Amino acid sequence: MVRGKNDIEDRRFAILEAAYSLFGQQGYVHTSIKQIAQEAGVGHGLILHHFGTKEGLLIEVVREWIVNRGLVEVFEDVKKAEDSDDLMRMAIEHVANFRNENQGWFTLMLSLWLEARRNPALSKTLEEIYMAMRETIKELLHRWSSDWSTDQLETYATLILALIDGLTLQFSRNPGDQIVTLGTIGISTLLEGKQKGVDPN
C-alpha cells in the first residue's frame, strides 16, 4: 500500500515528538531508537529511513524545537510590540514561556552540548543553532535601535544569549518569572550601557 504524503509526515512528526519527549526525560545517551519507536508507535526501521541514525534524529529534533518553533514564534510575538522597551520585554517573556512550556528543552540542549564535544556533526549543528539565535537577537536589537555597528550587534547578541543561557541553567526547575525579571534587568542594563557609550569589547 502506498501511503499518502500526510500520513508520512504524520509518522515523521510522531517520531520527532517521541524523541523530544524521551530525550527531554532521559537524556540522549540513555534513550534508544527502540524506545523512541515504541513511543511513536512505528517500526525501528522507519526511524532509520527518515533520520539515518540517532544522531541525525537528535539534530532534527533540536532544529524543530529551537529553530522552527522557538525562533520563528518569537518574531510573531514581538510584532505586537508598541515601543523598544515593550519589544525587549516581550522577547524575554517569550523565551521564558517557551522554556516553561517545553520542559524537555533544557535536557535536550544539555544533551546536545555534551555530545557536541566529541561529535563533529552535532558540534556543527550546535554552532548553526547558536548562530541562528544570535541572528534573531541582532534583528531584535536593530528594531530597538538602528544605531549599531556590525561588531556591536555581534557582541551584544552574544552577551544577551549568554545571559539567557545562564539564567536558564540557574532556574532550570522553574524558568518562569525569575528569568523574565532578571533577564529584563540584565538586558536593560546592557542596553543602557550602550546608550551611554559603554563599549564591552
CATH of the domain at 176: 1.10.357.10
Q: Which domain holds residue 91?
A: 55-195
Each residue of 118-142: pLDDT tens digit?
Answer: 888 888 888 888 888 888 888 888 8
Number of Cβ atoms within 10 Å of the Cβ of 117: 9
Question: 2 lies in a domain?
Answer: no
Each residue of 87-113: pLDDT tens digit?
Answer: 667 777 777 777 677 767 777 777 788
Q: Record the pTM.
A: 0.71
- Number of domains within the chain: 1
Question: 65 lies in a domain?
Answer: yes
Question: 36 lies in a domain?
Answer: no
For the record, the C-alpha cell of 155 comes out as 557582541
CA–CA gap between residue 25 and residue 47 (Å, rounded): 19
Triad 34, 39, 41: Cα angle to 5°: 90
